Copies of this chain bind each other. A is one copy, B any other.
Amino acid sequence: MSKIRLGIVGYGNVGRGVECAIKQNDDMELVAIFTRRNIETIKTSTAGVKVYNIEEAENHIQNIDVMMLCGGSATDLMVQTPHFAALYNCIDSFDTHAKIPEYFTIVDEIAKKSNKISIISTGWDPGLFSLMRVLGMACLPKGCDYTFWGKGVSQGHSDAIRRITGVKYAVQYTIPVDSAVEEVRKGNNPILTTRQKHIRECFVVAEPNADLNLIEHTIKIMPNYFSDYDTIVHFISEEEFKNQHTKMPHGGFVFRTGTTGNDNKNQQRMEFSLQLDSNPEFTAGVMVAYARAAHHLYLKGEAGAKTVFDVPIGMLVTDSMTELRAKML
């Protein structure tokens, strides 16, 4: 059987993760990378793959089955996905939760016209964590769900610190509060404030002669980002930063706790967790699995925007349903 031919749009951390993930899937091949950067400067890790300017992406319709949109949600995807959904089956990891309904509507209309499939907001949250929240609600309707994130790097929070005067480098880790996780795990259904759920720990490299007290204060009172949290700020050397804080770990937990039975006294708990050395590479792995599903849905004649809620899990792997029933059920 011929391989599923993928293209990558946007060659940052997620794009490079997709490139790696494709190598782990024998039924797929990477045929092209599209970037806004100077293509002369790009070094890929895949032998023979061509790199093009993003403007040329529309000239490859005959050679690409699914386009992996690896840009950021804040600016790239709102523009890129509508453009590419008119030409290709697409996968993205759009993660601005509040804008998902609007984004879906736009992409759905375009993909239905082009008779292509776009699976939006894949990855792990939104994505796998969303699946787990719905599965929990389905199986334990009389219950509560809780999502904790971390320990992991939040790019948005790290960026916010870096914009403060006197900050040279910074990284922010979101850390679930252990005691809160334990209360949930015990089925106590605690009511948790923002502060009770997560800690924010920041590692900052300051410019020479910067006012450290002022930086720390500026971080801690920053609305939305830090003021509602217990925030810890460490000032460290550039060397320590480069040795210990340049990876992108992440993870988290989704809990559903509920009760069943005639007297609703039996406690039942579902727990899903991720512990990831590399957030972008795992996100990429999920995206690639959904690319397989997008290709199958397209071959079945379906069209329009989809989410993880629409796609049968058995469609994410190479095995047929017959093989899955025999081996995995």
Residues of A at under 8 Å CB distance from B? 17, 20-21, 24-25, 45, 97, 100-101, 104, 121, 126, 128, 130-131, 133-135, 137-142, 260-262, 265-278, 281-282, 284-286, 289, 292, 307-314, 316-317, 321-322, 324-326, 328-329
Q: Flag if A260 contacts B285 (CB, 8 Å).
A: yes
Residues of the B chain whose Cβ atoms lie less than 8 Å from the Cβ of A141: 24-25, 285
Q: Flag if A269 contacts B274 (CB, 8 Å).
A: yes
Q: Flag if B268 contacts A278 (CB, 8 Å).
A: yes
15 inter-chain pairs at a CB distance below 8 angstroms, sorted by A residue, are: A17-B261, A100-B325, A128-B139, A134-B316, A260-B284, A260-B285, A266-B278, A268-B278, A268-B282, A272-B272, A308-B313, A309-B313, A309-B314, A312-B312, A313-B313
The answer, among B101, B308, B317, for a CB contact under 8 Å with A134, is: B317
Max chain B Cβ within 10 angstroms of own Cβ: one of A133, A260, A272, A286 = A260
Q: Flag if B139 contacts A285 (CB, 8 Å).
A: yes
Q: Flag if A271 contacts B268 (CB, 8 Å).
A: no
Max chain B Cβ within 10 angstroms of own Cβ: one of A276, A277, A325 = A325
Q: Complex Cα distance A128/B326, Å?
A: 16
Residues of the B chain whose Cβ atoms lie less than 8 Å from the Cβ of A140: 282, 285
Known contacts: A45-B262, A274-B269. The answer to whether A139 contacts B282 by CB under 8 A is yes
Q: Complex Cα distance A290/B265, Å?
A: 23
Residues of the B chain whose Cβ atoms lie less than 8 Å from the Cβ of A272: 270-272
Q: Determine the residue in chain B with the shortest Cβ distance to A282.
A: B268
Max chain B Cβ within 10 angstroms of own Cβ: one of A262, A282, A328 = A328
Shortest CB distance A112–B (Å): 15
Known: A45-B262, A139-B286, A309-B312. 20 other contacts (CB 8 A): A20-B260, A24-B141, A97-B329, A128-B270, A131-B135, A134-B328, A137-B317, A260-B284, A260-B285, A266-B278, A268-B277, A269-B274, A269-B275, A270-B274, A271-B273, A308-B313, A309-B313, A310-B312, A310-B314, A313-B313
